[in-house]
Structures are given as C-alpha cells and as structure tokens.
Structure 1
Amino acid sequence: MPTLSTPPTVIVVGAGPAGLTAAIALVRQGIPTLVVERRTAPSPFPRATGVNLRTMELMRAWGLEQSVRSGAVAGETTGWVGPTLVSPDGTEVSMGFPSAADAALLSPTTGIIAPQDHLEPVLMEHFLSFSAASVLVGTTVIGFTADQDGVIVSLRQGDERSTVRAAYLIGADGARSTVRRHSGIPMRGPGELAAYLAVVFHAPLAEFVDKPLHGLYMLTRQGPPWVFLPTDACDRWAFSMTWDPTRETLADYPPERLAELIRSGAGVPDLEVDIAWVSDFAFTAEIADRYREGRVFIVGDAAHRMTPRGATGMNTAIHDGYDLGWKLGWVLRGWADESLLDTFEAERRPVGLRNMERSTHSSDQRDVSKDYLDDIADRVPHVWLPDGHTSTLDLLGDGLLIMTGPGGHAPLPVPTPAIPVVVHVLDPATADALHLGVDGAMLVRPDGQPIARWDVSPDASIISSAIATLGVAVGEHTPVVERAELVLG
C-alpha cells in the first residue's frame, strides 16, 4: 500500500461526482483529503449526461466551466418525443432545464448535456491540483471503526491491507455503499420500479438527425418508450429499453440483434452501428433514513437513489458533496462549531426526498419544466455588475459575503478565528435589483444562501447575531477590511 505524504483529515470513499465535489470543496480550503476509489481507471461509460444550471454555477465558481463545457454535446437541453429519431413527426419536451432566454435572466451560465465520463476526469484533475489532495485507486474499503475522536478505515489494495485514520469519513461509494452499510443506515422507498437494457454504441446519426440535437429522445411505441441519448460531440450514443431479466439474459441480445433494434429506433435501415458496451440497470427510488452517523457522512447515490427521470440524480449528488464539503471545511478550520454539520442533513435530505419522489413519475404524470427553479430558489439572485461580465454570484468566496447598497458603511465585526468576511458595496442599479436600496445590506453564505437582510446598514451587534446562527464565534471589536476585489477560479 502506498505511503501517504500527508495524513488525511478527511477520507472520501468514491471518486464519482459526489465524492470528488466534496473532496474539492475540502482541499480548496486546505483540508488534507484522501479519496479512495476501487476502480483503477475512470469509467469509460457516459452514464448521466444532464449537467444542470446550479451545477454549472459551481463549476464556474471553481474556474472549471469551460473545461466541463468542452465535453458538451452540441445541442439543446430539451427532450424530443416521436416515432423514430429521424421522423419529422415529433414534439419537443422539457427536461427540467431552463430555456436559453430564461437561463440568461437567472444565471451567469447555462446547463449543458455532457457525459459523466467527461465530467469526472475534469473534477479529478482539479482535485489533484491541490497539495492537500491524495488518491488511492484500486483500493477497497473493507470496514471502519469510529469514535468521538475520529475514524479508522480499513483498506485493501490487491493482497495488501492497511488502516488509515482521519477525523471524518464521507461515503460517496454509490448505491451499494459499504460506508452506509457499516454505519447501519437503512434505505427506504419504492425500491426497484423497472428493469432496463442499456447499450452504448457508435453510429453516424448526426448525418440523419435534425439539428440541433436534443439531450434526450423518447420513441413512442407500444408499451414503454425506447430512449436514445447523444453522449459526445461525435458519434457515441446510448440506447435503452425495458426488458425482463427474469426471463432474458444479455446473451439473448448479441450485437447483431442490438444493431437491428437501434436501426429500427433510428429509422435508418442501413445505419452502421458499432456496439461498444451492453449492460442492464434498474429504475430505483430509495433514500437513506439519515445522512450522518457520528463522524461518518453519506452523499450521492449512497444517500439516495433516483431514476433518470428529470436528470436530477447526478446533480443532486454534486450539490450534496458541495454542501457537506464547505461546512466540514469550516468546522475543521475552526470557523464554526460542530452544530453547522447538523445543517447538512437538515438541508439536503429534504431535497433528496423531493427529487427521489419526483423521479418515480413519468413525463406524462408531472410537468418538469420549472424544476430548475428549486435548485436556485435559496441562493442570492444573479445580477450582472456594471462591468458586464461579473455576476453577483461571482462575489461569493470561501467565507461570508456582505453586499450593501451604495450607502453601506464599515466597520463591521469579524468572526474569530480569522474567518473572511468580505464587504462589497454595490452600485445603485445592482442594489435595487437585489431590493437592497441605498442603505440595505445582505449577509450571504459561501453557497449563496442569504443568512440575513437589513433595510438599513446594521450595526456590529446585529451582524454578530446573524453570523452566530451558523455556530460561528464572533469578535465584537475587530473590524472587517472592506474589499470589493474579485478573483474567479
């Protein structure tokens, strides 16, 4: 087993989107973090493809927006329903993403269609760019013990076994989570709802399908629809259909049969099809009873399982990871006490439950067209500053942000020890757009959620009380240095 150059403060099990997001949120705060991944190489399969608006805002904040966007499918974040891929008789439907016009009003970025096997390497590269980051691949967690002082994790890499101690453990190890099972946390919900056959293939469909491409194609047939997904900017697609694994096996679907099914769905009888991968999966809906057991947390599919309907699974997982990462970082840096960690489950489990329940409904049972509003409902509104390329969301940092109208003033209290509190005095137009007016102010968490708003500039004691609600100790007489500079990425 390789020797770690820096003992980890946090161990994250799983290098999927949830685990990597949590790990990045930690190392960006200087917290030594070890990611343990059982795979030896990134997955070559696309899996989830919808990267929603709120996720892209996070990528922008980390300076990763263009890297993630470079792997996007050249098309729309909409769905299409019709008899075949090339049929003119079809209808555009919502996938729960805003239109380009709506996104421009709500955010400095847009959601995209980009496969998970592109996103994960981008996240991993960013994680490893920090000196506090370390990774063990081809490594399995076989158990752990936890007490009030920390967690001892038992690892297996090949024939070698070892233990690593850390202050906290995060289970981002998927639907069959070892961390969740060893924590004794049960899952509840409808369970398996349907079984599907999944095929990844290459074919020159771009020559036949109308532009722009859609992120999802549902083919109307007798029985459940067939589904096609473009998964890269070239010729890789995914195809899925219901099947009965109690009566069929993958051997019943040789490449020749799959190619004929794909040609039928495409509506191109002589389409050249190269089958790359075949597997099966289940539409499953479950959620964990709790997201924490002492010093052990679970995120992503370890905490909730959703069907692909609504494209919420991966995005919910990413938002879980970010929420836990910044809060755990604050506690470990001494910026807040342990009570802040209680807000992780309190804030994220209701979201997981809502999205899990929504995913059990088919597209004809529920209108998904405004679902994206739920992801941004709690954060400060996006408004462009006078320079035309800086958003109010770009002002957020690792610490707290106070935005004031042009009549705002300092000094203000700063928490101890050394938590950054940045004061940004807004121009009159931006202040009005945020309903702050000339003298109002707003205190905002690093995730963009306002903690408090005031119609007139608050005094030190009022701001101290608002900050203290996060479990932060506040010094009464130390002034904030007023700053308005901005660093992106």
Structure 2
Amino acid sequence: MANVDVLIVGGGPTGMALALELSMQDVSYRIIDKAPVRSDKSRALVVQARTLELLNRHGTAKKLLSRGFELHGANLYTNKREAGTVSLDGLDMADTEFPFPLCVPQQETEHFLDECLAKYDKSIERPVIAKAITQDGAGVTVKLENERTGLSETLRVRYVVGCDGAHSSVRHAGRFRFEGAPYPQTFILGDFHVSDSSLPRDRLLLCFGSATLAMFPLKEGKWRLVTIHDGSKELQAHGTVLMDEQPTVDEFRALFAEMAPPGAGTLHDPTWLAKYHLHHRVADQYRDGRLFVAGDASNIHSPAGGQGMNTGMQDAFNLGWKLGRVLRGEARDALLDTYDAERRPVGQNVVDTTDRMFSYATWQNPVWRMCRNLLLPWVLPWLTNSAKRRAAGLRYISELTINYRGSSVVYTAGGFSGPVEGGDRLRDGKLRSASGDVVMLQSLCDGPSSHLLLFAGVGQGPLRSEEFAGFEAKLSKTDNHVKVIRIFNAATDGEGAYSDLDGQLHARYGMASPGYVLVRPDAYVGCIGNMDAFDELLSFMGSGKF
C-alpha cells in the first residue's frame, strides 16, 4: 500500500494551487485528475489582483501577464447607446503590484501553473479517478484507478482534499451538505473571431436592452460573448432546464446585431460554443475529519464578477501552509479547523454577492428591464465619478479586501490602533536594500515560513540596529520558523535591513512608533502591535494556535 501525506483530487487551478503550496511546504502528496488531457477551452477569463500576488510567491506572475492583458475598465450600453464608462486607471492602488484584473483564458493560467509546478518536479497523474474514499481516525484509504491502463492501487494518506468541482467525489464521500438551488437561467457563450471591429479591447463591455450581452476581449482578435436564456418556465414544468439544443452561430449573429454597440464588427469562426446551467450552493462545512473541499467542490455560483476560480485558488493558499505546519508537528490539528472558519464565510459572501450582481443584470421582468435601461445612463455617471468609489469597487472585486479578522489564529495587540489588524492582507510597498536595490515587501515574504516585520518607527526615537537585535534574541528563545525583516524609516539605515521609501509602509501599517507585523505564509497578518507589546506577540506564538 502506497503512502503520502496528502491526496489532491482534481487538477484544475484550485488543485494546482494547492499542489504548489504543498510543494513549497515540502509535504509529500499526489495530485490526480480524471480527464486524460487538459481542456483547450478558454473557460474562466479573469485572474484577480490578490490571486496574482499569491501566485507571485511561486514564480514571477509577469509570465502570466504576458499571456493576457490588463483590463482598464468597462463600457456599459443600453439599447446600443453608451450609458457610461467605468475607468480603472489612475486609482489609489499603490499597495499592490497588480492594480488591475488580468484577462487571460483559463487554459493559459493552467499552463502557467503547470510550469510553476514543474519547478518542483511535480505533475498531475491522468486519467486517474478515486473509486472509493474511506477515512478513519488515523488516515484515509483511497482506491485509485487509471482509466487508461485499467490498473488499480490502494493509497493510504493522512488527508484528502477535493478540488474536483461541483460533482466532487470527495464531498460525496464525506458528511458534507451542498446547500442551495439551481439558477433558472441557462448561460450561453461563444468565443468568436470578430473582424472590422472598432470596439475598445482593453475593457469589458456590458450591453443591456431586450436581452443582456457581456463581451470580454480575447487575444488574436477574438471576443467572448455571454448571454442568458430564462428557463424559469422549464424549471417549473420539468424540474430542470432543458439542455438538449446547443447554441448556433446564427443565433449569436442575431443577438450581436441586436445588442452590440455600433462598430462592433462581424462575427465568424467560433472556437467554442457552449450552453450550461449553474447552481448557487455552499457546502455546510469545508472540513469533515480528514477530508477537505475547496474551489467548486465547496461553493458554486454565477460567474458574475470573475470570482470563482480566484476564490478556489485562494482556498488552496489558505489550506496549504496549515497542512504543512500540522504535518511537521509545528501546530495542533485544530489549526486545520480554521480553514473552514476563515474560508467558508468568504465562499458564502461570494455566492451572495454574485447572486445580487447576476439578478440585477439578468432579471427578465419587463418593467424592471425598462427601468434599468432608462435609469442606468443617469445613475452610472454619479456612481463612477468618484475615484474613491471606483477604487473601493476595484479592491472588492480584486479580492484585496478579504480578511480573516476574528479568526482564532490572528491577533491585534492591545493599544494598537493602526489601519491594519490581525487577519488583514499583507499590504505591499517598495523597500530599498542595503545594496541599493528596490524590492517589493511581498517578494520578501515568500517561502514556507512566517515572517516578522520589525518597523523602526518614524520621527523621534526610532529603533536602532542593536535594539532590533534585543527583540530578535527574545524571539529566538520561543520560535525557530520565523524569518525577521528589519524595516527602517527612509531617513535611517541598518546593515542587512531595508529602508522604507518615503515612509510609505510605516504609514500604511500605522507604525509611527516602533512596531511589528507577523506575516503568515499565505501573506496575511497573523499578529500586529507596537513594540512595547512585544510580549503579547511572544504569548500569541507560544499559545500553540499559530
């Protein structure tokens, strides 16, 4: 009987992200997928800023940027007339290296993930299915079958993670309930070449009228077209939405002529036509003993907002380091319970938010549709004329505002009142090394370990190098898996440390006085406080929770 620590079931972006995390954590694992080859279809199109930040820990995300292009906003149309634009340019996004959504087909994202995983000498086993999954108090026994060779094997693992989509075999093997309901609408999409088009190719286009049409730019002069069919009558009559008929090119051409703005061009040579039906559901728990679910295995929803793939990958980033720490004996098993506590509320919020967005865009009530089309040209300019509102919207959709405040494994020291709290995302910024190189803070906080940022403070009384050494000596007595980064004000310096350019990071973290930030391996703040509360950090780290 073969043995590894973790079996990942599902080799899509979520499973691949978890494989990268476990590779970084030096955890033994196998990753399987039932498909003999990867799909060559575009599928999910948007990689959000927070996902890019976390992917950047495994290899330069700039390689992925070159395979797509930045989205700079959205144009909205009603009855073929422009109702307004939403610009994402010139916003206050200085705390991220990726202040934009990246439009890139999913197959390109998966190729990038394959390349990152190959650096660890790992790859997906195909076509392999988990025929039986049985857990007990000591581990999980899994019967695997290779559908190409017909060979079977029995695998014994400590944990199994289901990243295998809406029909997850792992979820079915455990005591998970998948609560929710189907959407009555049917989603219809097509990837088309478009000739003689003058439409802007750096933004999303949303067209409202007698129907709803969303247009996403692709490379090589192509566009993704998405519309919906109201299947509520079919759902009432048959208990399901009929899916027999596939969309045709002529139907898309008629829709394009009716809904697309002037200068849209001519559709031809589709590379993908599809009709699919979705649900909005969330698992009642993300952990059942030694079984976990992530990505679409844990929650499914409307594609509105480009959240699904990103949410799944961030599930993996959250779970990976916790598995590593528990398997190495550095933390108690209870740390794994915080995966559900931290990520399930995120999944529920995504389902609720995308439901509202989807309902606004697609509700077919004729009175609502008339009011929406009439009022949108008046309301949209008011909503988008504020750069602050646009930046807040971009941060939300980019998943930069996700936090784990209130989690049992984060802490804000008493007396600290800065803008960042325990559980918040690690805000990025520029630092200068002693050799004069400019680096990004997040790039320093990579690898399997936690990092401790020691801020010298600004103004009168900043810490000196020898004072830093005293705090580090205290730390060394209680912990051996934290890397320390000293950050001085721009006006100060320190051997082997970093200078804060223009004091931006001190301000970003509220460090007018000397302070510290403990950074988790998933680039979230584990603990934050003033230096005079350093003993609270030591107590937190010695509590066995982190």
Quickly name the TM-score band, shorter chain normalised: 0.7 to 0.9
1:476 paired residue number:
none
Alignment partner of 1:53 is 2:127:
no
The question of whether the paired residues in 1 share the 8 Å contact of 2:192 and 2:223 is answered with: yes
Alignment of 1:287 onto 2:282: yes
Q: CA deviation at 1:450?
A: 2.2
Indicate which of 210, 223, 233 corresponds to 2:219.
233
Indicate whether 1:420 and 2:481 are aligned.
Answer: yes
Deviation at 1:147, TM superposition (A): 1.0
In structure 1, distance between residues paired with 2:245 and 2:526: 57
Amino acid corresponding to residue 80 of structure 1 in structure 2: N
Aligned partner letter, 1:130: Y
| Alpha carbons 2:75, 2:82 under 8 Å: kept | no
Distance 2:15 2:276 in 1: 22
1:260 Cα offset (Å)? 4.2
Distance 1:83 1:439, change over 3 A: closer
Asked if the contact 2:197–2:266 (Cα under 8 Å) also holds between the matched residues in 1, the reply is no
Distance of 2:114 and 2:184 partners within structure 1? 33
Equivalent-residue separation in structure 2 for 1:138 and 1:400 (angstroms): 36
- Partner SS for 1:9: strand
The letter for the 2-side match of 1:169 is V
Q: Are the aligned partners of 2:96 and 2:428 in contact in 1 as well (CA < 8 Å)?
A: yes
Match of residue 171, structure 2, among 155, 180, 198 = 180
Query: What's the secondary structure of 1:279's corresponding residue?
Result: strand
Distance 1:284 1:434 in 2: 40
1:446 maps to a residue whose letter is: P
CA distance in 2, matches of 1:122, 1:210: 29
Gaps of 5+ in 1: 473-489
The alignment covers a number of residue pairs equal to 453
Question: What is the aligned partner in structure 2 of residue 395 from structure 1?
Answer: 444
Give the structure 2 partner of residue 220 of structure 1.
208
Using the size of structure 2 for normalisation, the TM-score is 0.76
1:482 is matched with none
Q: Aligned letter for 1:319?
A: Q
Q: 1:305 to 1:433 in 2, by over 3 A?
A: closer
Deviation string for 1:390-441 (max 9, x for gaps)? 222222132121111231332133488x842111111212435422235322
Distance of 1:77 and 1:321 partners within structure 2? 28
**SS of 1:105 mapped into structure 2:** coil
Q: Match of 2:475, as an amino acid? A: P
Q: Select between 112-121 and 435-444 the one with higher mean Cα deviation.
A: 435-444
Higher helix share: 2
- Equivalent position of 2:228 in the other structure: 242
- Counterpart code for 1:91: G
8 Å CA contact 1:250, 1:279 repeated in 2: no
CA–CA distance in structure 1, aligned partners of residues 132 and 453 of structure 2: 46
Q: Distance in 2 between matches of 1:331 and 1:324?
A: 11
1:165 has 2:161 as partner: no
Correspondence for 2:500: none
Q: Which of 100, 107, 113 is the matching residue for 2:96?
A: 107
Q: Which residue of 2 aligns with 1:374?
A: 401
Query: Which segments of 5 or more consecutive residues in structure 2 lack a partner in the other structure?
Result: 235-240, 362-382, 384-392, 404-419, 457-462, 490-502
**How far apart in 1 are the matches of 2:112 and 2:161?**
21
Shift in alpha-carbon separation, 1:272–1:36, aligned structure 2, 3 A: same
* Matches for 1:5-20 after TM superposition, within 5 Å: 7-20=3-16
Q: Does 1:468 align with 2:459?
A: no
1:439/1:275 CA distance change after superposition, 3 Å: closer
Structure 1 position 337 matched with structure 2 position 337: no
Matched, 1:32 2:28: yes
Structure 1 residues 53-202: aligned runs within 5 Å = 53-73=49-69, 75-82=70-77, 89-93=82-86, 99-102=88-91, 104-110=93-99, 111-131=101-121, 133-158=122-147, 159-202=150-193
Take 1:180 and 1:326, find their aligned partners in 2: how far apart are those partners?
Answer: 22
Give distance in 2, aligned partners of 1:211 and 1:254: 26
Verify: 1:411 aligned to 2:473, yes or no: yes
The 8 Å contact of residues 193 and 223 in structure 2, kept in 1 or not, is answered as yes
Q: Which moved more, 1:435-444 or 1:245-254?
A: 245-254
Separation in 1, partners of 2:348, 2:335: 21
> Given residue 411 of structure 1, which amino acid in structure 2 is its aligned partner?
A
What amino acid maps onto 1:125 in structure 2?
A: E
Whole-Å separation in 2 of the counterparts to 1:263 and 1:176? 37
Once residues 69 and 269 of structure 1 are traced to their aligned partners in structure 2, the CA distance between those partners, rounded to angstroms, is: 26
Give the direction of change, closer, same or farther, for the CA distance of 1:269–1:27 in structure 2 (3 Å limit): closer
Quickly say closer, same or farther: Cα 1:269–1:435, change in 2 above 3 A.
closer
Distance 1:22 1:269, change over 3 A: closer
Distance in 2 (CA, whole Å) between partners of 1:276 and 1:419 is 53
- CA drift of 1:343 comes to 0.8
Cα distance change of structure 1 residues 252 and 14 upon mapping to structure 2, 3 Å threshold? closer
Tell me if the contact between 1:171 and 1:180 (Cα under 8 Å) persists in the aligned partners: yes
Cα pair 1:194 1:284 within 8 Å, conserved: no
Give how far 1:211 is off.
3.1
Q: Which SS does the other structure have where 1:167 is aligned?
A: strand
Change (3 A) 1:272 1:101: closer
Displacement, 1:452?
Answer: 2.4
**How far apart are the structure 2 equivalents of 1:248 and 1:453?**
54
Contact 1:151 1:295 in 2 (8 A): yes
What's the CA shift for 1:88?
A: 6.4
* Cα gap change, 1:380 to 1:254, in 2 (>3 Å): closer
Aligned equivalents of 1:356, 1:252: Cα separation in 2: 27
Shift of 1:306: 1.6
* Cα distance, 1:384 vs structure 2: 1.4
Considering only aligned residues, what root-mean-square deviation do their CA atoms show, in Å? 2.8
**Aligned residue type for 1:395:** L
Structure-2 separation of matches of 1:276 and 1:453: 50
Q: Percent identity between the aligned chains?
A: 24
Describe the SS at the equivalent of 1:202.
strand
Q: Is the contact between residue 399 and residue 419 of structure 1 (CA under 8 Å) also seen in structure 2? A: no
**Residue number in structure 2 paired with 1:477:** none
1:255 matched to which residue of 2? 249
Report the alpha carbon displacement of residue 54 of structure 1 after superposing the two structures with TM. Answer: 0.5
In structure 1, distance between residues paired with 2:359 and 2:279: 19
Alpha-carbon shift at residue 280 of structure 1 (Å): 1.4
* In structure 2, distance between residues paired with 1:243 and 1:191: 14
